[in-house]
Amino acid sequence: MQDSLGNTLSLIDGASLGAVNDFVEGFIASEARAVHVLRAAEDDSPIVQAYCAALHLFAESRDALPNALPFLRRAQQGAARATPREQRFIAAIGAWAEGDIGRAVALHQEQASEYPRDLASLKLGQYHAFNTGDCPGMLRLALAALPAAADVPYLHGMAAFGYEQCHLMREAEQSARRAIGMCRKEPWAHHALAHVMLTEGRLSEGLDFMQGVSDSWTGLNSFMLTHNWWHVALFLIDLGRDAEALAVYDQHAWGVEKGYSQDQIGAVSLLARLELAGIEVGEARWRELADWLAVRTHDQVLPFLDLQYLYGLARADRP
């Protein structure tokens, strides 16, 4: 049995294949259907349990690890009957759970070299590399898989963001446009291209592009949806279209999944950017946002998140 990318699976219950594919495809495509793997949580297949554990860890909250551990333990207990690829993925999730991000990234890099079509592993490796500021690591992961998985548009989107984070703008744009040429609905490639255009000051072009593809942002996870609208707002800010930028915050960038970490820090950072540009956002927006941030004070999951929670709470004059 194989997943939709051709990776061999050791499933106990063949009925779980659809849920596994929803995770793999949904994760690399930034789609909400990745959570469908939780419907197969009763399947003791180690890879199913590892995918469920990963989903819980992505909550990026103090509850994430306790919620993930039962799934991780089941995956580890059954690892002996898993394939070598699955075993390495389980080990990488274990390293993540233990806070050993360096080991997790190393395992994902090994996976990209040995099983380059395990793009869920590659995407997760890029997530860790980004959070630790390892931009070359993000790019190395994508480049390792390209010879074997160039037919997958989402890999070119991953490569595009890796190039952009390494300030290789021409390569980033080429990879993003290749991804979009293969699949117009490739929101991560849209995101990478938005970075390039903002960096290069191509403001009107960037705004037109992002608004032009926004009709394809359907079925996405809340982070990808709100973050791409966040980029739309940045173009509007730099173009001096203040009221429209505020409207993007109110209608698209905040309010999709208010309890999620990434939606919260996106809202904090957008309000901060609006104010830094001299735009009056009003105290009510900060106060409403701070109500959601107040529960985060004991999380300490990622410094990238903590500093933005702190900014939002301080700006709202909350302890």
Res 156: pLDDT:
98
What pLDDT, on a 0 to 100 scale, did the predictor assign at position 217?
A: 98
pLDDT given for residue 166 in this prediction: 98
In this prediction, residue 148 has a pLDDT band, given cuts at 50, 70 and 90, of: very high
Identify whether the C-beta of residue 70 lies closer than 8 Å to the C-beta of residue 84. Answer: no
Query: What is the rounded distance in angstroms from the CA atom of residue 177 to the CA atom of residue 119?
Result: 19
Q: What pLDDT, in 10s, does the model give residues 175-192?
A: 999 999 999 999 999 999
Q: What is the mean pLDDT of the segment spanning 12-20?
A: 96
Residue-wise pLDDT tens digits, 218-250: 999 999 999 999 999 999 999 999 999 999 999
What does 158-201 look like in DSSP terms, one character per residue?
HHHHHHHHTT-HHHHHHHHHHHHHH-S--HHHHHHHHHHHHHTT
Cα R_g (the chain), whole angstroms: 20
Model confidence pTM above 0.95 = yes
Confidence bin at 266 (pLDDT 50/70/90): very high
Q: What distance in Å separates the CA atoms of residue 19 and residue 128, rounded to the nearest whole number? A: 24
Q: What is the pLDDT of residue 63?
A: 96
Output the six-digit token pair for 269: 């950072």
Q: How far apart are alpha carbons 38 and 55 in whole angstroms? A: 9
